[in-house]
């Protein structure tokens, strides 16, 4: 009895996912991603603001 082989996914499989479904393709495997939570979004916004302020000081 042969072992079942894992399916190798491609970018076409990622594009075929339903709209809004977040996933990454790494070495032929699809990894589903959870949506960012509120704290993640707040931290991202804060970092973006800090980087923008720093860049403005360089001008």
Residues in a beta bridge with 23: 32
State if pTM tops 0.85.
Answer: no
Cβ(57)–Cβ(51) below 8 Å = no
d(CA 15, CA 22): 10
34-to-21, 40, 58 alpha-carbon distances in Å: 9, 12, 36
Q: 6-49, pLDDT tens digit by residue?
A: 899 999 999 999 998 999 999 999 999 988 899 999 999 999 99
């Amino acid at each position: 009895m042969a072992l079942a082989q894992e399916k190798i996914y491609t970018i076409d499989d990622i594009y075929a996912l339903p709209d809004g479904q977040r996933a990454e393709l790494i070495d032929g495997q699809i990894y589903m991603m959870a949506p960012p939570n509120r704290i993640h979004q707040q931290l991202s916004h804060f970092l973006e603001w800090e980087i923008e302020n720093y860049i403005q000081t360089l001008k």
